[in-house]
């Protein structure tokens, strides 16, 4: 059984390509399971959000993709869950959201 470590809204009403939110650096390597929830608003017609990792939050190079949430329907919540220990993590809009917005939440847990 895993114990919740963090539950946080990380993106609010975003649409723009490459807008990103960093997962708090204080959690680097401290959790083993996490889920990203993404909700597309009324009117949203396209878009995608990726979860990415790098060794350091300041890494200027291309980060590694570890999960993708693609648009499927407006007013719908999607999620992707990942297991692993990661250093820097971010959530980034990889395909602009059209005719609407997205909100995203991050939930992480550690083993007991």
> What is the tens place of the pLDDT at every residue in 24-79?
777 777 788 889 999 999 999 999 999 999 998 888 888 999 999 999 888 889 99
Q: Are 14 and 98 spatial neighbours (Cβ–Cβ below 8 Å)?
A: no
Residue 47 backbone zone (phi > 0: left; psi -120 to 50: alpha; other: beta): left
* Residue-range domains of the chain with CATH: 2-111 (2.60.120.230)
Calculate the average pLDDT of the chain.
87
Judge contact between 43 and 76, C-beta under 8 A: no
pTM: 0.85
């Amino acid at each position: 059984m895993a114990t919740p470590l963090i539950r946080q809204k990380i993106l609010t009403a975003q649409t723009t390509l490459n807008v990103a939110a960093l997962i708090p650096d204080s959690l680097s390597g401290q959790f083993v399971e996490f889920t990203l929830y993404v909700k597309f608003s009324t009117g949203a017609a396209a878009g995608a959000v990726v979860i990415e990792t790098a060794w350091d939050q300041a890494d200027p190079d291309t980060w590694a993709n570890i999960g993708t949430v693609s648009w499927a329907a407006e007013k719908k919540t999607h999620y992707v869950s990942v297991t692993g220990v990661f250093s820097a993590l971010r959530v980034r809009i990889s395909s602009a959201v059209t005719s609407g917005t997205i909100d995203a939440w991050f939930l992480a847990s550690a083993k007991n």
